[in-house]
Amino acid sequence: MNLDLDGKIVFVTGGAKGMGPAIARAFGREGAKLLLIGRDMAALNNLRSELADTGVFAEAYRCDVTDSAEVDQVVGGILAAHGRIDVLINAAGGTGPVGTAAWETSPEAFDEIITLNLNGCFHMMRAVLPGMIARRYGKIVNVGGTFGLKGRAGRMAYSASKWGLRGVTKSTAIEAGPYNINVNYVAPGMVDGPRFRERVMPEMARARGISEEDVVAEHAAEYALRRISSDVDIANACLFFASDVSRQITGVDLAVDGGWAAL
């Protein structure tokens, strides 16, 4: 199927970490022009060089999505240079406290993950939407999480940030729809990768007194498909929402989780 993304200007936040690189590679294979932002310029430049070696147009910008003034400055510079942003993929985010009950969560830890996962997406959407509205075209994909569809013990702060992002997504979809702008929410389940292996697994293993291998097995057993998602699974969902194949879909939650949220 031709997704017709060749030449589209795709803005990916959190491009260098987590699911960001897989998302960037997927859009690069479709011929998109990539604008990658994040705080780790060394990692961003490594990814940019990798993409360039395969013939993909990519630029890297340092930007802290939690700083609205910095977001406005970076987006303004990009619009001045390129004239438009066709697609925004809000992939920047964090995990927040793991294995911590609501009453044990500090106000600082709660505020930190809300600011990153929710406010950061809002800042980006606020910055790019006026240009999309003027052109009567745009695709926004907010990468959330299934803990924003179902609560999860020990992950209250993260869950709150992703529930909030769903509300931002749905309300903005209604407001932007008359301007031919689609706004959707991809909800990954647990995604196998560095963040899961290096942060979530060890913390859950310590909190529950089990091995890291048992943590993986328990997660997989909760899913209908009995397997944990990969970053490529999430990238493919982003491709779908960024293309006109999904032109009549907006304001929806798409769980990419092997069936966990449906059970």
Residue 179 among the catalytic residues: no
Indicate the helix (H) or strand (E) that contains 201.
Answer: helix 201-208
Which of 158, 179, 185, 223 does the annotation list as catalytic?
A: 158
Q: Under DSSP, is residue 4 helix (H, G, I), strand (E, B) or coil? A: coil
Q: What is the DSSP letter of 177?
A: G
CA angle (196 as vertex; 89, 224 as ends), nearest 5? 85
Tell me how far apart the terminal alpha carbons of the chain are, to the nearest angstrom: 31
262 HSE (CA, 13 A, CB side): 11
Which 3-state string (H, E, C) describes 105-158? Answer: CCHHHHHHHHHHHHHHHHHHHHHHHHHHHHHCCEEEEEECCHHHCCCCCCEHHH
Q: What is the DSSP letter of 191?
A: B
Residues with active-site annotation = 158
